[in-house]
Amino acid sequence: MISISLGRKKTFYFAVWLLLVSSFSLPWAPSFWVYGLLRFIIGMCTNGLYAVPFVLGMELVGPSKRVWAGIVICYFFAAGMVVLAGVAYLIRDWVYLEIAISIPSVFFLFYWWLIPESPRWLLSQGKHEEAVKILKKIAKGNNRNVDEKAFGNLTVQEEPFGRFWMFASMANYGLSLNTFDLSGDYYLNFFLSGLAEFPAYTICLIFLDRIGRKTLHVSCMVFGGIFCICAIFPMLYASEDLQPITVTLAMLGKVGIAAAYGIIYVWSAELYPTVVRNQGMGLSLAMANTGYLVSPYVADLNKAVSGDLGRALPFVLFGGCALLAGLLVLMLPETLNQHLPETIEDGINFGKYVFKYVFKSSGSKLIFIT
């Protein structure tokens, strides 16, 4: 909601400063309740640090570049998991570990001079000159010349602001957390879990613009769900000889679900109209975080159910939820090769019409269509 009044860029920096203060304060929390409050703030900020620039990136590019804008960011998330595994292995004291992983957030401060505000948001706020300045800079960077008269009549259709992934999130984060229940070294398994996301996002880059969001998402969720369920069979034999097979099946499941998780980000941003896109993505992330909150308890079912069955049960639930989610998204419309809907009406009619131009010329007027 803050992004409506402050814009994408200022909201991002509000989250950056809040994250810096809370993350560096955490190691010196005087009590459990203060520690819990700071953890809550950190979790809230990290969502803003991901969702806001994600929406900004999607709004700055055309349909042919949306997959790159939406998926490449996921590689850095995967790289963070891989680096975290190494840092946690080297720094076992949680206080020093917290300080070490908080330091990189300082570099976000330098992004202020690198990232622009969303021209769509500026136009919706009546800030025509600022929007034109950014669009001219983008056009210059792309070696494109746009008629000055078109910029003079730049408009955006006005619409009242509307106020408005659980299973995918639960399975994705749950599999990362559940690496402890896999045989072998915990740090190595977590490292492999992060490494598995690289081929997942590469699959998205290669196939998203070829076979579409719906088909690829369903395929990845089903693929991931099946391999998660298959991982229980060698686990039930409780044999160390089968440990590599169990880890391999679990990582293949992680590949499928991580790919589906990356797709749902792009797909959701394309489904929400511009006037509610940031709010819609925020609400979707809130639902995703519900799955995130549940996932540790699902991963710890082995403490309630003893033996190999307890170790296998989380994979059954993660895999089953992935299969269910894959089937549920069949009700959503495909967004491949379609421009972003702008108004609430566009969102309602999405799938019935194909928006043909990002910039549609109408005489001397340049209409900004997302």
Question: What are the tens digits of pLDDT across the range 115-141?
Answer: 888 887 787 777 878 888 888 888 777
Question: Would you say 259 and 327 are in contact if contact means Cβ atoms under 8 Å apart?
Answer: no
- Give residue limits of the domains in the chain: 2-115+161-331, 119-158+339-368
- pLDDT grade for 235, boundaries at 50, 70 and 90: confident
Question: What are the tens digits of pLDDT across the range 268-285?
Answer: 888 888 777 777 777 777
Q: CB-hemisphere CA count at 13 Å for 239?
A: 6
pLDDT at 160: 45
In this predicted structure, the answer to whether residue 360 has a pLDDT above a threshold of 50 is: no
pLDDT at 304: 77
Torsion of CA 182, 187, 190, 194, to 10 degrees: -150
Long-range contacts of the stretch 59-62 (C-beta < 8 A, 24+): 59/8, 59/118, 59/119, 59/120, 59/121, 59/274, 59/277, 59/340, 59/370, 60/116, 60/118, 60/119, 60/138, 62/339, 62/358
- pLDDT grade for 367, boundaries at 50, 70 and 90: very low
End-to-end CA distance of the chain: 20
pLDDT at 32: 92
Question: Would you say 291 and 13 are in contact if contact means Cβ atoms under 8 Å apart?
Answer: no
In this predicted structure, the answer to whether residue 239 has a pLDDT above a threshold of 70 is: no
pLDDT at 265: 85
Give the Cα separation of 88 and 90 in Å (integer). 5
What share of the chain has pLDDT > 70, as a percent?
A: 80
- pLDDT grade for 362, boundaries at 50, 70 and 90: very low
Question: What are the tens digits of pLDDT across the range 315-340?
Answer: 888 888 888 888 888 888 888 877 77
pLDDT at 97: 92
Question: Would you say 190 and 179 are in contact if contact means Cβ atoms under 8 Å apart?
Answer: yes
Question: Would you say 71 and 208 are in contact if contact means Cβ atoms under 8 Å apart?
Answer: yes
Mean pLDDT over 61-86 rounds to 86
Question: Would you say 119 and 135 are in contact if contact means Cβ atoms under 8 Å apart?
Answer: yes
Mean pLDDT over 39-53 rounds to 83
**Range with the lowest mean pLDDT among 52-56, 83-87, 127-131, 156-160?**
156-160
pLDDT at 233: 80
pLDDT at 272: 83
Question: Would you say 178 and 299 are in contact if contact means Cβ atoms under 8 Å apart?
Answer: yes
Instruction: Indicate the CATH number for domain 2-115+161-331.
Output: 1.20.1250.20
Q: Is 117 left (phi over 0), alpha (psi -120 to 50) or beta?
A: beta
In this predicted structure, the answer to whether residue 151 has a pLDDT above a threshold of 60 is: yes
CA-closest candidate to residue 258, choices 327, 337, 202, 178: 202
Q: Is 367 helix (H, G, I), strand (E, B) or coil?
A: strand
Can you give the pTM of this predicted structure? 0.74
Give the Cα separation of 272 and 276 in Å (integer). 6
Q: Which residue has the higher pLDDT, 199 or 43?
A: 199
